[in-house]
Amino acid sequence: MATKKYVYAFSEGKAEMKGLLGGKGANLAEMTNIGLPVPPGFTISTEACKEFYNAGRKFPEGLEQEIEAKVAWLEQTLNKKFNDLSGPLLVSVRSGAVVSMPGMMDTVLNLGLNDQTVTALADSSGNARWAYDCYRRFIQMFGNVVLDLEHHKFEAVLEDQKHKRNVEFDNQLTSEDWQEVIEKYKYIVRKETGSDFPQDPKEQLYKAIYAVFDSWENDRAIVYRKVHRISDDLGTAVNVQAMVFGNMGDDCGTGVAFTRNPSTGEKLLYGEYLTNAQGEDVVAGIRTPQPIAKLAEEMPDVYQQFAQTCTLLENHYKDMQDIEFTIERNKLWMLQTRNGKRTAQAAIRIAVEMVSEGVLTKETAINRVDPNQLNQLLHRRIDPTAKLEVVAKGLPASPGSASGEVCFDADLAEKLHEQGHKVILVGTETTPDDIHGMVAAQGILTSRGGMTSHAAVVARGMGKPCVCGCEAIRIDHENKQFMVGKIKVKDGDIVSIDGSTGEVILGEVPMIEPELSNEFQLLLQWADELRTMGVRANADTPEDAAKAREFGAEGIGLTRTEHMFMALDRLPIVQEMILANDIEERAEALAKLLPMQEEDFYGILKAMDGLPVCIRLLDPPLHEFLPNAEELAVEINTLKLTNGDPAKLSYNEELMRKVRSLSEFNPMLGHRGCRLGVTWPEVYAMQARAIFQATARLVQEGYKIETEVEIPLVIEVKELAYLRQLVIDIADQVKQETGVDFHYTVGTMIEIPRACLLADEIATEAEFFSFGTNDLTQTTLGFSRDDAEGKFMQPYIEKKILAENPFIVLDRKGVGKLMQWTVDNARRVKPDLLIGICGEHGGEPSSVEFCHMIGLNYVSCSPYRVPIARLAAAQAAVNNKDQSK
């Protein structure tokens, strides 16, 4: 009988089997096999979950028999039995996806209890309070997770009971209280489902397993996967594990800990625990937990063992661990370990320190930092010299600073965000149902919950500023406001939060630009040693160029000259040039622009002394420099109606004629790029002259200048040959006029499929290529970016027709194929041809990797993304060592 194996005892698994056993199951197996104290249990594989969905939500053939066998084995191992009054088996049923999804899937504890076994347990243990506490928890969790009853119905009963007894916390309730609560819980179940709470442990078990499978498709899980780009096809495993109890008294407890500080990276055990508690109590904010250091005082032996176990696990996994544990009567039990989520700052510090500790190599270390996460550090923070009206202080749960309108509702936050508002989501705490609001918010502020609360964990994962457990703010949901002392902050008021200090500030605050920490610089230095591809920046001003250099750019990959044309003092002259009736008039306007452009180029080239600077000649359609036709029409009408200045009227009418004549059906495919150079060569000639005059001056002043003149939008080698000659002629003239010799190159942007296809011909006239992947994506897909992103990109991604937005993540399959073809064919003709990329893709890690794989010389991106590109390029080099051609 060759049926598939779906169920694995923990002793049969290992960490590498994550795909099959889920993260939690694989790590429980690993911990079991390295001899750590893990309550025994077994894992039902993700394969079984997939089959469950394939079969229309039915258990696959053979699964039930396997489960029966493993339950029998568990009963034998523990000498306990389901439904046995002398020693009832109690288990937890825990979901465990391949990629950890905190709080997304629900766990049921104490399964196996019923009206009989609870009495037996109460009698045999002599601890009735504990037995009934377990049972009420079980009914509540099972009721919520499996029977789909609302959590708050149970909570209300509990609150009532506390109120009735005039106590504050659950651990102050007695055995009799729990028995009362249980009766009420059972009544809720009967009333809401029409049946009694299931008493048969096997029935409980199967229903719970079914519910875990089912939860893979619940809304929260689906949203989480979408946000974190986790595949919907992975499925979840189910872990069935013998219970251990942290709620048997004050020599018991449960906790969570990180082996290093997940916020700063400091090497120090970091976490929280609660005595006499079970499961989620620590993170649910039921009572305020103790810091882990306190455990060293309260239970020194257990602490000692725990600390040793943490070190052992860290060395074993060679990474910072996020651990869940329970103490039952002074005995430590390990319930979970995984690589801990961390801020970018912590990721860097941990990676760097683990290299100096000899745990990691530099190659491994640079792979430990997610380049996308670096954004957090490259963001602004509150200006430390600013006078702040700090009104409260909570926990610094996720670093970074944000200002925005106070908003108490996740749906509203999402709506406001869509309307362009910046919001700070404020709540008592957050739940997985608030994810969409957290995505939309600039930052998150909660009044309850610790550093491991839902809000904190999720915000760190998203790289959003978050202040948690800010007890000084009292939220009044009814009136949509919160109070801090006597200050009232209403829905829509502006507040700022600093997730690195925990401060809450009234109003907007001044922010400053980021700088790189020593550890960050060291990591980037290693990245520079490992990467083989260059990193440049796109910069249009000397300031941007300087910033780029500071962040480690090795040149400028794109300077756009049109931004210079848009400047307020230039625009009228640019318009004069466009409106000119003949060559002479145009020459006059160009003569005025020349010295201005020369100064622009002088500044940028000087800032990049010693490094290459690629300057693109004018690219956008000319009408972009002229007034909007509709506004002009209104102005003309007003002049007519009011008998306004006739000279002004006739000027405007002339302007209108030009605007009309320049207007295009499809400007993206219209009169732009080198087509402007072909029709109006004098414009490109002026720009070339400005570039070379600036170059000559700087060379004379002793700077080392490497100018690259770039012709945009080329489709044909003859087009490039014509314009290149024009540039060369000007260079020769300038050399002659100034008597200065300088070096420069002329090349082209590759952004039209025809240019890719004819790369070998075009290469003969080019000294460099630079992929303009924004236009290349537009022209290859036939998507205009604005229209696509505004109208139909979302459904394409939702329906999985496209995996990613190709304007953000390079479309390797289509656009990438053209790029590969271009590189291969151009280099056949010119093996040393310099080829780079200057689209936004140049700062996106997956695209950077692709550029490395096809052999580009450099990527170029916005100055702030330069560190991201440096790291991504290093990862690409390390991870593609074997594939490199």
486 burial (CB, 10 Å; 0-12 / 13-18 / 19+) is: exposed
39 binding ligand ADP? (CB under 6 A): yes
Binding mask 273-292 for ligand ADP (x = CB under 6 A): ------xx------------
Among 70, 94, 368, 454, binds ligand ADP (CB under 6 A): 94
Distance in angstroms (rounded) separating the CA atoms of residues 109 and 93:
7
DSSP state letters, 470-491: -TTEEEETTTTEEEETTEEEET
629-645 per-residue burial string, b: 16 or more CB within 10 A, e: under 16: eeebeebbeebeeeeee
243 binding ligand ADP? (CB under 6 A): yes
Interface positions, 749-768, toward Mg ion (CB under 5 A): 751
> What backbone phi and psi angles, to 5 degrees, belong to 248?
-90, -5
Give the pair of three-digit tokens for residue 624: 């972009």
- Closest approach of Cβ 19 to Mg ion, in Å? 19
> What backbone phi and psi angles, to 5 degrees, belong to 428?
-60, -50
Indicate the DSSP class of residue 188: H
Distance in angstroms (rounded) separating the CA atoms of residues 32 and 708:
61
Helix axes 681-700, 717-738, angle to 10 degrees: 40
Binding mask 74-93 for Mg ion (x = CB under 5 A): --------------------
Is 623 part of the annotated catalytic residue set? Answer: no
Stretch that binds Mg ion, among 308-316, 347-355, 769-777, 857-865 (CB under 5 A): 769-777
Give the pair of three-digit tokens for residue 755: 């240019």
Terminal Cα-to-Cα distance of the chain (whole angstroms): 48
- The residues, ordered by sequence, that sit 6+ positions from 617 with a Cβ below 8 Å of its Cβ are 561, 674, 677, 684, 687, 688, 709, 710, 711, 712
- Closest approach of Cβ 751 to Mg ion, in Å? 5
Distance in angstroms (rounded) separating the CA atoms of residues 410 and 229:
21
Distance in angstroms (rounded) separating the CA atoms of residues 135 and 119:
10
Matching residue, tokens 């810091």: 291
- The residues, ordered by sequence, that sit 6+ positions from 279 with a Cβ below 8 Å of its Cβ are 107, 109, 137, 246, 254
Task: Closer to ligand ADP by CB, 161 or 326: give it.
Answer: 326
- Which residues are 613's β-sheet partners? 556, 707
Task: Closer to ligand ADP by CB, 107 or 442: give it.
Answer: 107
Interface size with ligand ADP, residues (CB under 6 A) = 17
HEC string of 351-378 equals: HHHHHHCCCCCHHHHHHCCCHHHHHHCC
**Residues, the chain:** 885
Residue 751 binding target from ligand ADP, Mg ion, none, CB below 5 to 8 Å by type? Mg ion
Give the pair of three-digit tokens for residue 857: 């010389």
Matching residue, tokens 């510090």: 349
Maximum distance among all Cα pairs of the chain, rounded to whole angstroms: 106
Give the pair of three-digit tokens for residue 251: 């020599």
Catalytic residue among 614, 838, 851, 861: 838
- The residues, ordered by sequence, that sit 6+ positions from 882 with a Cβ below 8 Å of its Cβ are none
Among 247, 275, 326, 336, binds Mg ion (CB under 5 A): 336
Stretch that binds ligand ADP, among 103-111, 493-501, 631-639, 867-875 (CB under 6 A): 103-111
- Closest approach of Cβ 366 to ligand ADP, in Å? 30
- Closest approach of Cβ 280 to ligand ADP, in Å? 5
- Which residues are 325's β-sheet partners? 255, 334
Task: Closer to ligand ADP by CB, 230 or 483: give it.
Answer: 230
Q: What count of other Cβ atoms lies within 10 Å of the Cβ of residue 147?
A: 17
372 burial (CB, 10 Å; 0-12 / 13-18 / 19+) is: middle
Residue 403 binding target from ligand ADP, Mg ion, none, CB below 5 to 8 Å by type? none
Residue of closest CB approach to Mg ion = 775
- Closest approach of Cβ 289 to Mg ion, in Å? 15
775 binding Mg ion? (CB under 5 A): yes
HEC string of 254-311 equals: EEEEECCCCCCCCCCCEEEEEECCCCCHHHHCCCCCEECHHHHHHCHHHHHHHHHHHH
Interface positions, 563-602, toward Mg ion (CB under 5 A): none
Give the pair of three-digit tokens for residue 53: 């969905």
Stretch that binds ligand ADP, among 44-52, 172-180, 237-245, 510-518 (CB under 6 A): 237-245
- Closest approach of Cβ 90 to ligand ADP, in Å? 8
Residue 603 binding target from Mg ion, ligand ADP, none, CB below 5 to 8 Å by type? none
Task: Closer to ligand ADP by CB, 122 or 323: give it.
Answer: 323
Residue 772 binding target from ligand ADP, Mg ion, none, CB below 5 to 8 Å by type? Mg ion
240 binding ligand ADP? (CB under 6 A): no
Residue 775 binding target from ligand ADP, Mg ion, none, CB below 5 to 8 Å by type? Mg ion
Binding mask 541-580 for ligand ADP (x = CB under 6 A): ----------------------------------------
Residue 94 binding target from Mg ion, ligand ADP, none, CB below 5 to 8 Å by type? ligand ADP
- Closest approach of Cβ 103 to Mg ion, in Å? 9
Residue 326 binding target from Mg ion, ligand ADP, none, CB below 5 to 8 Å by type? ligand ADP
Task: Closer to ligand ADP by CB, 303 or 601: give it.
Answer: 303
Task: Closer to ligand ADP by CB, 110 or 777: give it.
Answer: 110
Catalytic residue among 379, 417, 454, 623: 454
Distance in angstroms (rounded) separating the CA atoms of residues 869 and 198:
57
620 binding Mg ion? (CB under 5 A): no
Q: Which helix (H) or strand (E) holds 448?
A: none
Distance in angstroms (rounded) separating the CA atoms of residues 543 and 551:
13
Confirm if 778 and 784 have CB atoms less than 8 A apart. Answer: yes
335 binding ligand ADP? (CB under 6 A): yes
Confirm if 418 and 439 have CB atoms less than 8 A apart. Answer: no
326 binding ligand ADP? (CB under 6 A): yes
Among 13, 255, 772, 843, binds Mg ion (CB under 5 A): 772
- Closest approach of Cβ 289 to ligand ADP, in Å? 12
Confirm if 21 and 13 have CB atoms less than 8 A apart. Answer: yes
- Closest approach of Cβ 254 to Mg ion, in Å? 11
Distance in angstroms (rounded) separating the CA atoms of residues 75 and 662:
84
538 binding Mg ion? (CB under 5 A): no
280 binding Mg ion? (CB under 5 A): no
Instruction: For residue 308, give Cα distances in angstroms to 35, 269, 279, 305, 332.
Output: 13, 11, 22, 5, 12
Amino acid at 549: R
Is 838 part of the annotated catalytic residue set? Answer: yes
- Closest approach of Cβ 226 to ligand ADP, in Å? 19
840 binding Mg ion? (CB under 5 A): no
Task: Closer to Mg ion by CB, 598 or 751: give it.
Answer: 751
Stretch that binds ligand ADP, among 101-109, 136-144, 399-407, 575-583 (CB under 6 A): 101-109
Residue 335 binding target from ligand ADP, Mg ion, none, CB below 5 to 8 Å by type? ligand ADP
Residue 22 binding target from Mg ion, ligand ADP, none, CB below 5 to 8 Å by type? none
Indicate the DSSP class of residue 131: H
Task: Closer to ligand ADP by CB, 252 or 524: give it.
Answer: 252
Residue 398 binding target from Mg ion, ligand ADP, none, CB below 5 to 8 Å by type? none
Among 37, 62, 103, 510, binds ligand ADP (CB under 6 A): 103
244 binding ligand ADP? (CB under 6 A): yes
Residues in contact with ligand ADP by CB under 6 A are: 39, 92, 94, 103, 107, 109, 241-244, 254, 279-280, 324, 326, 335-336
Catalytic residues: 454, 838
Residues in contact with Mg ion by CB under 5 A are: 324, 336, 751, 772, 775
